[in-house]
Amino acid sequence: MSVLYRIALVLVIIGAINWGLIGFFRFDLVAYLFGGQTAVLSRWVYALVGIAGLISIPILTKRLDEEEEFDPHTRINSNPSYGMEAGEEADFSDVSKTKKNNTKNNTNNQQNKNKKK
C-alpha cells in the first residue's frame, strides 16, 4: 500500500470518527478544534477528508491477494519447520532395522568379551 493510500485511509478514519461523534453526541470535533464549521481550517479538513474518501475507492476494489506480499517468516504464509536447531533430526522411521543392528552389535561385543577372558 503506497504512502498516498495510507494517508488517505488515516483521513477517512478521522472523518468516520467525526461523523460518529456527530451522529451519537451531536458534537462536531473538527468544528470544535478549528473554530466552527464555517472556519477556513475546518473547511480544509472537511475537503481533505472528502478527497481522501475518493482516493480510497480503489482500495475497496483491489483484490486481497494482489496486495499481500509473501513473508516467509510468518506462520500464516509458510509451513512450520519441525527440524532441530542444533542439527539434522534423526530418522526414526525404520526402527526395526535399528533394533536388529543394535542387537547384532551387542551380540558381537559379548562374543569379543568372552574371547578375551
Whether the pLDDT of residue 109 is over 70: the answer is no
Mean pLDDT, to the nearest integer, of 21-39? 94
pLDDT, position 47: 96
Q: Give dist(CA 5, CA 99) in Å, integer.
A: 64
Question: How many of the other CB atoms lie within 10 Å of CB of 10?
Answer: 11
Mean pLDDT, to the nearest integer, of 57-86? 63
Which residues are CB-neighbours of 49 under 8 A, at least 6 positions away? 11, 12, 14, 15, 18
The percent of residues above 90 in pLDDT, for the chain, comes to 44
Q: Give dist(CA 80, CA 89) in Å, integer.
A: 15
Mean residue pLDDT of the chain comes to 77
Question: How many of the other CB atoms lie within 10 Å of CB of 62?
Answer: 11
Q: Which residue has the higher pLDDT, 8 or 100?
A: 8
pLDDT, position 59: 84
Q: Please, which pLDDT band fits residue 70 given cuts at 50, 70 and 90? A: low
